[in-house]
Amino acid sequence: MSENKKIEKITGVKGMNDILPDDAPLWELFENTVQSVLKSYGFQQIRTPIVESTHLFARGLGAVTDIVEKEMYSFEDALNGDKLTLRPENTAGIVRAALEHNLTYDGPKRVWYNGPMFRHEKPQRGRYRQFHQVGAEALGFSGPDIDAELIVMCQRLWDDLGLQNIRLELNSIGDAPERNLHRADLIAYFESHSELLDAEAQRRLYSNPLRILDTKNPAMQSMVNAAPKLFDYLGEESKSHFEGVQKILRDNSIPFSINTRLVRGMDYYNRTVFEWVTDELGSQGTVCGGGRYDSLFSIFGGKATPACGFAMGIERLLELMKASGEAHNPAQCDVYLVHQGEKGRAQSFVLGERLRDAGLDVVLHCASATGTGSFKSQMKKADVSGAAYAVIIGDDEANSDAVTIKALRGDDVSGNQVNVPFSSAVDYLVDQMTGALETDACCDDPNHIHIHH
């Protein structure tokens, strides 16, 4: 290779982002909070592959949906010819797994998932080509109580994350016979106003007319607002189910508004549909959406099984957390080990393992390309790490089989440091950390107790 030939720099794929160490704490806070909330409602985690049969999504989402028509990352496996797709959503995969493994044979199941999804969309704020979702699916439950439970669970999550200004929009799209009657009248109505339909609406007119109701075209708004409303076609059963959902929400002080134009994007929904919406993310206002999908098990060839669920976009919710002032930068460690000389480094390694055995998080200062670093530079790194204590083992400490422990946080920062025998260092630090935890437990909130590990 010529010395003058420049090596081409390789960059990430457009719309597929790296999550860097500085971002990780906020992700961890979100994911840990989600897991805690879902567990408190009896949901168990399920993990499905990110690659599924293309046919799964074409059948489940509807062949004429935007996702299937324009957004899926689909390819043919060069080794065996299988037609495969990177999952654009995960409800279809969950139902496939439930059928394949007969999950509901002994009764209904509550499951949840967390992972990446893929859609070939124009990247914009909070919306990427590889994005992440948390979702919950309640399989085998037919009543309005589970629909309401999922919504109440979302509200609890927003509260635990400290998120405000997220409002709930609710609708019922009834069952298939009701939608078919409405569909015929809707097509007739749009045909009578064909001169107002844009190209996208013309394309959807006979394949998916419900989606025209979702148009953002200002020139069509008044015409669409006057279109026949699916809500007016609901039978007694669908109305009763929807009233049951609303009653539980009212009983639990969950505010909502009914949006009769809310239809959701996938074909498999029926009856209850809902979205959690915010005005703080520009045009990408929906942070969570879901509803009931009682026909999806049958569409996939299984026994008819009622089901309901939701999915929420993690990136969008993290944007909201940042906007609300959430700055989650937890300490990297409890103890930072500073050392000088060969003997000091060796003893630091041993002490580090003993401290970890005792349940503490420990960072050992390691050499960089420029060397181990001076005592001053190591102490700066100890402070930046967020550690409560720096443990120093220099030549003097190593020779006397002792360590110097310096408090970096709290009331002890004013130069307070102690010299303790090497053999007593673990007990001393554990005692100090335990005392700090007990103080933390005595804060204003009687339910707040920080437990390390």
pLDDT tens across 151-179, in order? 999 999 999 988 888 999 999 988 888 88
Q: Where are the domains of the chain?
A: 24-174+234-323, 335-441
pLDDT surpasses 90 at 3 = no
The answer on pLDDT for 64 being more than 90 is no
What's the pLDDT score for residue 331? 67
What are the pLDDT digits (tens) for 6-28? 888 888 888 888 888 888 888 88
- Could you tell me the CA-to-CA distances from 142 to 39, 135, 339 in Å, in that order? 21, 19, 63
Total H helices, total E strands in the chain: 15, 16
Give the count of alpha carbons within 13 A of 210, CB side only: 26
Does the pLDDT at position 111 exceed 90?
A: yes
Q: Which of 149, 178, 181, 187 is CA-nearest to residue 40?
A: 149
Q: What is the mean pLDDT of residues 427-437?
A: 79
Residue 24: per-residue pLDDT: 83
Nearest CA to 344 out of 395, 381, 379 is that of: 395
Asked if residue 370 has pLDDT above 70, the reply is no
pLDDT at 208 over 50: yes
In whole numbers, what is the pLDDT of the chain averaged over residues? 84
Global confidence as pTM: 0.79
Residue 376 has pLDDT above 80, yes or no: yes
pLDDT one-digit tens code per residue, 380-420: 888 888 888 989 998 888 888 899 999 888 765 555 788 89
Q: Does domain 24-174+234-323 have CATH number 3.30.930.10?
A: yes
Quick one: three-class SS letters along 62-114?
A: CCCCHHHHHHCEEEECCCCCCEEEECCCCHHHHHHHHHHCCCCCCCCEEEEEE
Q: Please report which confidence band the pLDDT of residue 63 belongs to, taking 50, 70 and 90 as the band edges.
A: low
Q: How confident is the model at residue 132 (pLDDT cuts 50, 70, 90)?
A: very high
Write down the residue that tokens 């971002």 correspond to.
23
Handedness of CA 5, 9, 10, 14 (dihedral sign): negative
The predicted pLDDT at position 196 comes to: 86
Most confident among 97-106, 358-367, 390-399 (mean pLDDT) = 97-106
Residue pLDDT, tens place only, 43-59? 999 999 999 998 888 77
Token pair in block for residue 101: 């493994």
Residue 448: pLDDT band with limits 50, 70, 90 = very low
Q: Which CATH architecture has domain 335-441?
A: 3-Layer(aba) Sandwich (3.40)
